[in-house]
Amino acid sequence: MERDVAWWDQAVFYQVYVRSFADSDGDGVGDLEGIRGKLGYLELLGVDALWLTPFYRSPMADHGYDIADPRDVDPMFGTLGDFDVLLTEAHKRGIKVTVDVVPNHTSNTHAWFKSAMAAAPGSPERDRYIFRDGLGPRGDQPPNNWVSSFGGPAWTRVPDGQWYLHLFSPQQPDLNWANHEVAADLERTLRFWLDHGVDGFRIDVAHGMAKPPGLPDMDPRVNAIGPSEFYDPRFDNDRVHEIHQMIRKVLDEYPGTMAVGEIWVTDEKRLARYLRPDELHLAFNFRLVLTHFDADALRTAIERSLAVPKAAGAPATWTLGNHDVWRQVSRYGGGERGVRRARAMALVELALPGAVYLYNGEELGLGNVDIPPDAVADPRAKISGAEFGRDASRVPLPWEGDLPPFGFSRNPRTWLPMPASWASVTVEAQLEDPASTLSLYRRAIEIRKSHKAFRGDDLEWYGAPAGCFAFRRRGGGLVCALNTSASPIALPPGEVLLSSVPLVNGKLPPDAAAWLV
C-alpha cells in the first residue's frame, strides 16, 4: 500500500536565520517584523515553507539556541503578537511556518537552572539537569572525559563542588531526560506553538537528549564535532526514541503538522529508527553537505541518502547548507568556480525526490565572509579558538543599494559586518537579471512544482563519462545531468528544461548541471 502524500513530502523549505534576514527596527539585528515585510519575496521565490531559527527569550550566548523561556518571544525579535501576524500572513500566501525547538538543553538563565544553582545537591531542582560529583580525592576532576562540541570539557564546576553537564557551551546546561518534568515541559512548549498555528518543528540535536546509564567515558578517538566512526556515548542512545514517540503523539493530535530532526548519525540502520511511523516525519540528511564536488562521490551520497528513508517508508531530505556550515560557494572553491558549482548543485538537489531545505542567501550565490577578529560573534569560535567559525555563513542578507547595510537595516552597524563587495549580488541587482543565481532558483523551483516530470521517488542511472552522472526519475521522466569533469559533455537525448549555465554547442560545460525530459 502506498504511503499518503503529505504537504512536506516534496516541499521546498527555506531556512530563515532570524538574526540575519531583515531588520525592521534599526538595531542591526533581524527580527520577526523584518521577515513579515519580506514575505512577498519568499512567495516570489516560490518556497513552500519556512524554518525559523530560535526567536525565544534568550541571553544570546549562542544566538538563541540557549533558551531562557521557550514559550515567549525575545524583545530583540519582537513580540508574540508579531509572531502571530507573521504566521497569519505567511499562511495567507500559502507558506507554511515551522520553528525550532531545543530539547537537549536550556540557557543557564532559565528559571529551572537558577533554582538548581540555589538548591542543594540531590534536590529535585538539580534533578532536572545532570549534576554529578567530581572525581579524585577532592572531587576537582570532571565526572567523565566527555568534551564539549564547543571545545574543552563538557562539565563545569559550581561553587558547592558539583559539576553540571553541557554538551555545548557552559551557558547551555543539558536537561535530564530521565526526569518526567522535562518531558512534560517540552509537551507544553509543543502545544503552545501548535495552538498558535505553527505547521511543524525542527528538532535541534534530535539524537542527543537521552544519556547512557552511568555516563561512561567516550572513546578518545571520537571527534568532538560532527559524526564519528567510533562509539560516542553522548549521542544516539536508545532511550531517545521514547522522546520522539512522545513528540509524535502530540503532533498526531494536530493534523497536518510535522517534525524534522537534526540527526548526526552515520549508521544507516540506526538513522532509519528515527523515521519509524511513530517517530519523526523527516530526518535531515547531511551527506551532500559533507561531499566534495565529484560526480562519483555525489552519486554514492545520493544513493545512500535515498536508501534510509525508503526502507523506513519516509520521504528523503536534501540540503546543501545551513547556519552551522560553510556556504556551498566557498566549500566548492570560492569565486566564479564556487558559484558555478553551487548553481549546478542547486539543480541536482532540486531534481531529487523528497523535501529540500534551502538556507537563506544561497539563492543569491553568497559565499563565506571573512570576519575581522574584533567582530567575531560565534561562541564556538571564541571557546575553541577555531580559525573558521560559523559567523562566516551568518552575515546579514543584502537586499538593495550599493553600500552596506544593503537594505537589511537602516543601521550601518549590523550585528555582523557586511562586505562592500556584495553590491553586485543584492536581491535588487539579481531580481530582473535572467542569468542571475536568484533567477535560476526561482525558475528551478517553479519547474519543480509545476512539471509532471518531477513525479516518482525512484531513480535510475545512465551510463556517463568519467566525472559525470545522469539520473532519471522513473515516475515522471525528469533527467538530471551533472558534469564535474574538465571537459564539455554531450547530454542524453531530450528537451532541455533548464541548465545552470548556458550550453556550449549543445554540450554541458564543466561545473554545470541540466534538466531534460
Task: Cite the active site residues.
Answer: 204, 262
Measured CA to CA, the distance from residue 197 to residue 287 in angstroms comes to: 32
Measured CA to CA, the distance from residue 464 to residue 469 in angstroms comes to: 5
Element (H, E) at 134: none
Cell numbers of 292, please? 566534495
Which residue matches cell numbers 548541471? 513
Q: What is the DSSP string of 304-363?
A: HHHHHHHHHT---EEES--TTS--HHHHTTSHHHHHHHHHHHHHHHHHSSSEEEEETTGG
Measured CA to CA, the distance from residue 165 to residue 177 in angstroms comes to: 13
Q: Cis omega (within 30 of 0) on the bond before 216?
A: no
Nearest CA-CA partner of 258 in 313, 310, 198, 316: 198
According to DSSP, the residues that pair with 490 across neighbouring strands are 507
Element (H, E) at 428: helix 427-431
Measured CA to CA, the distance from residue 447 to residue 500 in angstroms comes to: 14
DSSP-derived pairing of the beta strands 459-461 and 49-52: unpaired
Number of neighbours of residue 446 by Cβ within 10 angstroms: 13
Output phi, psi for 135, to 5 deg: -95, 165
DSSP-derived pairing of the beta strands 479-483 and 317-319: unpaired
Cell numbers of 475, please? 515516475
In contact, 102 and 205? CB cutoff 8 Å: yes
> CA separation (Å) from 199 to 95, 252, 453?
10, 12, 28
